[in-house]
Amino acid sequence: MLVKICGITSTEMAKKAAEAGADMIGFVFAPSKRQITLKEAAIITRALPPSVKTVGVFVNESIAKMQAISELTGLDYIQLHGDEAPSVAKKLRTKVIKSFPADSLCSKIKETRHYDFILIDSPAGKYRGGNGRTFDWKLAKNVPKQNVILAGGLTPENVQQAIDIVQPAGVDVSSGVETDGVKDPEKIRKFIQNAKGGSPIEKIYNA
């Protein structure tokens, strides 16, 4: 189970997430309370082991700017979190994750084949993501699971239930591992532990 910890803004927290077993670290370059600068992201990326992949989150940004930031910070993935068309992904030189609000997934299902991963998130609030709201996970059950990352209101307490229902390739969390708006190392550790723990059925078969 891939685990992406998004909205990281410090080297210290990035290292703690990596030590806890995070597979991906997300940097938000779009307007958000978790927005990070290019310089800060570059410093964090250099401090991470190669096994931890970095993701830049953008909303309706120009291809030139996304590509420039990707190259300067060493991003492994660009996450398109706005209204970008599939043609945008074809012009980028990195792997691409595309976010889809759960309430529009049915109408966009044919587009999912254009991306390395699709991220299924809650319907948009003030910001395009990181709103901390869950949705009916059954909406994501009929999507091909091999490239699905599930997001939206996940916490250490509900992530295993969400995984059992959706069976995604990975999960993504931001506000669900925060305390008073700040990333909490213990919540990150518990989230990753619970996400990678496997369902009760898997534990029986793997015993």
**3 state DSSP class of 35:** strand
The verdict on whether 6 is a catalytic residue reads yes
Query: Residue 39 contacts by C-beta under 8 Å, 6 or more apart in sequence?
Result: none
Q: Of 33, 26, 72, which Cα lies nearest the Cα of 52?
A: 26
Rounded to whole angstroms, the Cα distance separating 154 from 44 reads: 24
Stated as kind and residue range, the H or E segment containing 202 is helix 200-206
52 in Cβ contact with 24 (< 8 Å)? yes
CA angle 32, 34, 39 (to 5 degrees): 110
2 in Cβ contact with 149 (< 8 Å)? yes
Among residues 23, 121, 172, 180, the one annotated as catalytic is 121
Q: Which amino acid is at 125?
A: G
Rounded to whole angstroms, the Cα distance separating 88 from 96 reads: 10
The verdict on whether 83 is a catalytic residue reads no
Q: Of 182, 180, 125, which Cα lies nearest the Cα of 152?
A: 125
- Residues that are catalytic: 6, 121
